[in-house]
Amino acid sequence: MVKSSTNNTHDDETKVTPNASNEPQLKLPISTRDARIDDRLRNGGWQDTFKTFEKQLVAYNLEARGIQRVEPDERQDLRLLGYLQVAVMWFSVNLAANNITLGMLGPVVFALGFLDSCLLAVFGASVGCLVVAYIATFGKSGNRTMVFSRYITGWWPSKVVVMLNIVVLLGYGMIDCVVAGQILSAVSGNSMSVVVGIIIVAVITWVITTFGYQIFHYYERWAWLPQLIVLCILAGVAGPHFNISSQSTGDADPDTIIGNRISFFGLTLAAAITYGGGAADYFVYYPEHSSSLKIFGMTMLGLICSFTFAFILGIGLASGMLTNSNWEAAYSVSQGALIVEAYKPLGGFGSFCGVVVALGLVANLILPTYSSGIDAQILGRYAGAIPRVIWNTIGVVIYTICALAGRAHLAEIFTNFLALMGYWVSVWVAIVLEEHLIFRRKTGFNWGVWNQKKKLPLGIAAFAAFIIGWIGAIMCMAQVWYIGPIAKQVGTHGGDMGNFVGFAWAAVVYPPLRMLELKRFGR
């Protein structure tokens, strides 16, 4: 096994200096960086424009760093407010309309009552948040999440994990764009196309993520406030119409109700757990001595509070459709239209609140957009040579096109895509936990070898466990287009147990496989 040590490699990409607000300030050594860029500019070619832009980012003290590790002496001086920023960031990111629309699926798609839906959504999200909070504690290593994955799954297998994570990140971007487009279209009385709304939100997100870590942290620091205000207004105006006495139904079959409960629990778990693929990315400027417990706790606090509020709002709106024909008619147009319809009693002010809710999705879009640009650089040497901002731009274009194509099928995208993508994270985190707590418990990780292939695990055991976990997940998945043989045993529509079984199968096989790998190869 790799012995722990302090890093002895040093890149001069950035310097971080503390400030009064405890936010990382990227203090870049201009002369060294400029020399590198000037050398590349002299070579000419298509990269000239990109490198000139990168040079301007550096000149204005903005982030040009890609996947390189943030060295210990480049970190910020962290105080109490720095830990509070963890909770604020997650709360700001997650208090968004996409989670309201996800909550709607409990009563609408799974035929669950108000109380059933609320309990399943809150506890499902809480379990998923445990994973996100755990992965977030590795941010103080200075390595991005998918770079950290090299220490678990090895150099080559980690690229498979990276590709899966990019799919998740861009998928989330697609969902957010569709929801925002639906709301803006409904606010305009359908005079503005959903297409225009999608493009507006995508462009705003691109602008913010282009300038990197510092700008998006400033944005997330305050983005939660208008969202909290308008969603509290939504709760006040729509709450009296929630049907809190609604009951779960399932073709008069108790087993079907059980299957629907399992599936909705798994869906809300997947909504949270998929943040795990990028959770460490946003804390790489935190010092090595940062409290893992505080980062864990603040992540849990921010995520659970925001998930709970958003899910219950969505569940309440969906439950109210049973007694409110206007809400039912609005939902038949889109989930976003239902949110706007709930604001209708407020007149023009309600329309304004709807616009704020739609633009609030930018906060949720920033993280997957930013992380997708970083993850793309991990795929290979040539991919790593392309600046992060270019990958961010490509990512925005991809999920915008997908959103335009899938704008009429949001519920299907949620129920099929989201749960499916949660499977790989469940399998991966089982391997991460066991590698960390069993095989690295005494030796730890040598964070300085993040880019040295021969000093990282081969990843044979991890890859084998990953495949076995996926097989278990597929056998227990319940989607519209496929129900696994084990999932079929629960009710009429099956019960989606893919997350739980995938985790369990990977957890069972990984320790013996890893012991064999260490015995044979020593790393």
Q: What's the pLDDT at 57? A: 61
Q: What is the pLDDT of residue 378?
A: 92
Confidence band (pLDDT; 50, 70, 90) for 76?
confident
Give residue 49's pLDDT band: very low, low, confident or very high (50, 70, 90): low
Residue 359 is predicted with a pLDDT of 93
Query: Any idea which of 17-21, 63-67, 247-251 has the lowest mean pLDDT?
Result: 17-21
60 falls in which pLDDT band (50, 70, 90)? low
Band of the pLDDT at 75, cuts 50, 70, 90? confident
Q: Residue 242 — φ and ψ, nearest 5°?
A: -65, 140
How sure is the predictor about 407, in pLDDT bands with cuts at 50, 70 and 90? confident
Residue 29 has pLDDT above 80, yes or no: no
pLDDT number for residue 15:
39
| pLDDT over 80 (residue 28) | no
Burial of 115 (0-12, 13-18, 19+ CB in 10 A): middle
The per-residue pLDDT for range 495-521, each reduced to its tens digit, is: 889 999 999 999 999 999 999 999 999
pLDDT above 80: residue 314? yes
Backbone angles phi, psi at 492, to 5 degrees: -70, -40
| Percent over 90 (pLDDT), the chain | 63
144: helix, strand or coil: coil
Of 222-236, 478-492, 509-523, the poorest mean pLDDT is in: 478-492
Full DSSP string of 449-518? GTT-GGGS---HHHHHHHHHHHHHHHHT-B-SS-B-TTGGGSTTT----HHHHHHHHHHHHHHHHHHHHH
Residue range 366-373: average pLDDT?
90
pLDDT category of residue 382 using cuts at 50, 70 and 90: confident
What digits encode the pLDDT tens for the residues 410-429? 767 766 676 677 899 999 99
Percent of the chain that is helix, strand, coil (3-state, to 5): 75, 0, 25
* Predicted confidence band of residue 442 (pLDDT cuts 50, 70, 90): confident
Confidence of residue 405 (pLDDT cuts 50, 70, 90): confident
Query: Average pLDDT for residues 216-220, to the nearest whole number?
Result: 79
Predicted confidence at residue 419, as pLDDT, reads: 66
- State how far the alpha carbon of 270 is from the alpha carbons of 95, 180, 303, in Å: 16, 21, 13
Two structure tokens written together for 108: 């609408």
Residues in the chain: 523
- Range in 163-167, 252-256, 304-308, 320-324 the model is least confident about: 252-256
CA 210 to chain centre: 18
Amino acid identity for residue 408 in this structure: A
> In angstroms, rounded to a whole number, what is the distance separating the alpha carbons of residues 202 and 399?
9
pLDDT at 415: 63
Give the mean model confidence (pLDDT) for residues 350-379. 93
Q: Is the pLDDT of residue 222 over 90?
A: no
Give residue 364's pLDDT: 92
The CATH number assigned to the domain with range 15-521 reads 1.10.4160.10
Q: For residue 250, is pLDDT > 90?
A: no
Q: Please return the burial class of 126, using the count of CB atoms within 10 Å of its CB with bins 0-12, 13-18 and 19+.
A: middle
Residue 15's beta-bridge partner residues?
27
Comparison of pLDDT for 321 and 406, the residue scoring more? 321
Instruction: Give the pLDDT of residue 221.
Output: 85
Q: Which two tokens stand for residue 16?
A: 């971080």
Q: Highest mean pLDDT: which of 242-251, 372-381, 485-494?
A: 372-381
* pLDDT at residue 24 in the model: 41
* CB 434, CB 507: distance < 8 Å: yes
Q: What is the pLDDT of residue 512?
A: 97
Distance CA 89, CA 23 (A): 12
Average pLDDT over residues 375-402: 90
Task: Kindly report, residue by residue over 443-452, the tens digit of the pLDDT.
Answer: 899 999 999 9
Mean pLDDT, range 40-69, rounded to an integer: 61
Of 28, 7, 27, 5, the closest CA to residue 17 belongs to 27
Residue type at 312 in one-letter notation: I
Is the pLDDT at 30 greater than 50? The verdict is no
Helices and strands per DSSP (H, E), number in the chain: 22, 2
**80-127 tens-digit pLDDT:** 677 899 999 999 999 999 999 999 999 999 999 999 999 999 999 999
Is pLDDT at 26 greater than 80 in this prediction?
Answer: no
Q: Residue 214's pLDDT band (boundaries 50, 70, 90)?
A: confident
276-313 confidence digits (pLDDT tens): 999 999 899 899 999 999 999 999 999 999 999 999 99
What mean pLDDT value characterizes the chain? 85
* Bigger pLDDT: 143 vs 381: 143
Question: Using CA atoms, how far apart are residues 262 and 265, in angstroms rounded to an integer?
Answer: 5
